[in-house]
Homo-oligomer: A and B are copies of this chain.
Amino acid sequence: MNSEDQLVERTGQAIPSGSSGRASDRLRLGIGDDAALIRPSAGTECVLTCDQFLEGVHFLANAHPPDSVGYKALVRATSDIAAMGATPRFFLLALALPAGRTGAWFDAFLRGMGRAAGQMGMRLAGGDTTKSARISIAVTVLGEIARGRVVSRAGARPGDLIYVSGPLGPAQLGFELVGRGVSRLPEFRPLLRLHLYPKIRLELGAWLARHRVPSAMMDISDGLSTDLTRLCRASLVGARLQAGRLPRVRIPAPLARRLRGLQFDPLQMALHGGDDYELLFTVPPSRAGQLQRAPGFRELTPIGEITRNKNILLVGDDGAAKPLRPGGWDPFRRK
């Protein structure tokens, strides 16, 4: 039998939490009470975000391994903490499951989430578990940052350089491989990795905030075209991107031959593909030199610059500039 209380108990055993004998001075009451009690560190501010990960919308329960669902649900929620330059500390898990997913599926899900929590140094502080026809996951993350150091979306200024922290498109490629039913072939497995187990840029985000390098920052979760539009709107500016500069997905030649019939366009995936969780940030030219000391410096790529004109333009290899419309993930856009 699986009562709600038993599911909560299994969760507390599988994921580093306040109930597993690792209670610390800062997490004073964890899962199992009405609410978590957290004592903030001196001189810090709290950063709070939440994110949903839903069966049939964000993942397919029969195509995506359950440990990937648990891993990714926590990592993608935590990416918004990286995007502010903060350090994640605690999370809450609101979970709704069909009764048929409370056995082996749930254990594998918890293993994946526990692994992600361990890698990112986070602890489960509470949550809510209930039943539903489809799996629904909402993760709330609490992070902290030294006072006055947060980097918002709203500070980009004309002339600032626009950077991304790594290749754009790998997650979209993995998503397409799953969608087209070829993901079970072993040779494609390396191409699925970032779709199933995304990496986020916690160390880089915290470094950038600590050294006050960026004027604005966010993570790319819905695709560059959509998220750059959001950053520019918040900063009341525009942007001019160089198509030739965009770091794209690289597919080893033998695999590329096998994928040729499937018509992947690396530029389109870089512009509109979601789920990569790379950082998008802007840097005044006078501070760009400091980036050489940033963690992961080699992967940082300048892709354009911020403009006073509020349009978002994409400059092609022929030098012609065309408007770039938000074409990333929007669940409510009509196809």
> What is A's interface to B at a CB cutoff of 8 Å?
1-5, 7, 28-29, 32-40, 45-52, 54, 56-58, 80-81, 83-84, 86, 90, 92, 94, 96, 99, 102, 125-128, 130-134, 136, 138, 140-143, 145, 147, 150, 152-154, 218-219, 230, 234, 330-334
Contacts of A96 in B (CB 8 A): 52, 54, 57, 136
Q: Which of A48, A52, A57, A143 is packed against the most chain B CB atoms within 10 Å?
A: A48
Contacts of A333 in B (CB 8 A): 3
Contacts of A140 in B (CB 8 A): 48, 50, 92, 94, 140
**A35 touching B83 by the CB < 8 A rule?**
yes
| CB-nearest residue of chain B to A127 | B50
**A138 touching B34 by the CB < 8 A rule?**
no
Bound together, the chains give a CA A153 to CA B154 distance in angstroms of 43
Nearest chain B CB to A303's CB is how many angstroms away? 20
Contacts of A138 in B (CB 8 A): 50, 52, 94, 128, 138
Sorted nearest first, the 3 A-B pairs with minimum C-beta distance are A35-B49, A131-B331, A138-B138
Contacts of A57 in B (CB 8 A): 96, 130-132
Contacts of A127 in B (CB 8 A): 50
23 contacts between A and B (CB under 8 A): A1-B332, A4-B330, A7-B332, A34-B84, A34-B153, A35-B48, A35-B49, A35-B81, A35-B84, A35-B86, A35-B143, A38-B46, A39-B46, A40-B45, A48-B126, A50-B94, A51-B128, A52-B94, A54-B96, A57-B131, A131-B331, A133-B134, A134-B134
